[in-house]
Amino acid sequence: MRDEGYPPEQREAIYRVIAERRDVRRGFLPDPIPPDVLARLLNAAHQAPSVGFSQPWDFIVITDRDKRQRIAALVQRNRDEYAAALPGGRARAFDKLKIESIVDTPVNIVVTCDRTRGGRHTLGRHAQPRTAGFSSVLAVANLWLAARAEGLGVGWVSFFGEHELAELGEELSLPPHLEIVAYLCVGYVSEFGAEPELAASGWARRRPMAWAVHADEYGRRGLPGEETMDLLAEVIAAIEPLDAGAMAAARERQDRMTKPRGSLGELELISVRLAGLAGACPPPLPEPACVAVFAGDHGVHAQDVTPWPQEVTAQMVANFLAGGAVVNSFAAQVGAEVTVVDVGVAADLDPVPGLLPRKIERGTKDFTAGPAMTRDQAIAALTTGIEVARDLVAAGNRCLLTGDMGIANTTASAALICAFTGADPAEATGRGTGVDAATYARKVDVVCRGLARHRPDPVDPVGVLAAFGGFEHAAIAGFVLGAAALRVPVILDGVIAGAGALAAAALAPDVAGACFAGHRSSEPGHAITLEHLGLRPLIDLGLRLGEGTGAVLALPLVQSAARALRDVATFDSAGVAEKDHLRERLWCLRPRK
Instruction: State how far the Cα of 98 lies from the Cα of 243, in Å rounded to an integer.
Output: 36
Residues 21-72 have pLDDT tens digits of 999 988 999 999 999 999 999 999 999 999 999 999 999 999 999 999 999 9
Evaluate if residue 2 carries a pLDDT over 90: no
Out of 3.40.190.10, 3.40.50.10210, 3.40.50.720, 3.40.50.1370, the CATH code matching 285-567 is 3.40.50.10210
Look at residues 107, 112, 211 and name the one whose alpha carbon lies nearest to residue 153.
107
Look at residues 333, 296, 338 and name the one whose alpha carbon lies nearest to residue 321.
338
Annotated active-site residue 427? The verdict is no
User: Is 134 buried (19+), middle (13-18) or exposed (0-12) by CB count in 10 A?
Assistant: middle
pTM: 0.91
How much is the pLDDT for 587?
Answer: 45
CB 295 within 8 A of CB 405: yes
Q: How far is CA 517 from CA 267, 339, 520, in A?
A: 13, 20, 8
Instruction: State how far the Cα of 481 lies from the Cα of 475, in Å rounded to an integer.
Output: 10
Residue 157's H or E segment, with its range, is strand 152-157
Domain spans, the chain: 9-203, 285-567
Instruction: State how far the Cα of 423 lies from the Cα of 167, in Å rounded to an integer.
Output: 65
Residues 371-391 have pLDDT tens digits of 999 999 999 999 999 999 999
Identical fold for domains 9-203 and 285-567, yes or no, is no
What mean pLDDT value characterizes the chain? 93
Angle between helix 471-485 and 375-394 (nearest 10): 40
Percent of the chain clearing pLDDT 70 (strictly above):
97
Q: Which of 167, 195, 547, 584 is catalytic?
A: 547
172-207: b (≥16 Cβ within 10 Å) or e: bebeeebbbbbbbbbbbbeeebeebbbeebebebee
Residues 71-123 have pLDDT tens digits of 999 999 989 989 999 998 888 888 888 889 999 999 999 999 999 998 887 88
Residues in the chain: 593
Half-sphere exposure (Cβ direction) of 421: Cα atoms closer than 13 Å: 27
Residues 7-30 have pLDDT tens digits of 999 999 999 999 999 999 889 999
Give the CATH fold of the 9-203 domain.
NADH Oxidase (3.40.109)
Which DSSP category does 213 fall into?
Answer: -
Amino acid at position 307, single letter = P
Evaluate if residue 574 carries a pLDDT over 80: no
Other C-beta atoms closer than 10 Å to the C-beta of 65 total: 11
Residues 438-486 have pLDDT tens digits of 999 999 999 999 999 999 999 999 999 999 999 999 999 999 999 999 9
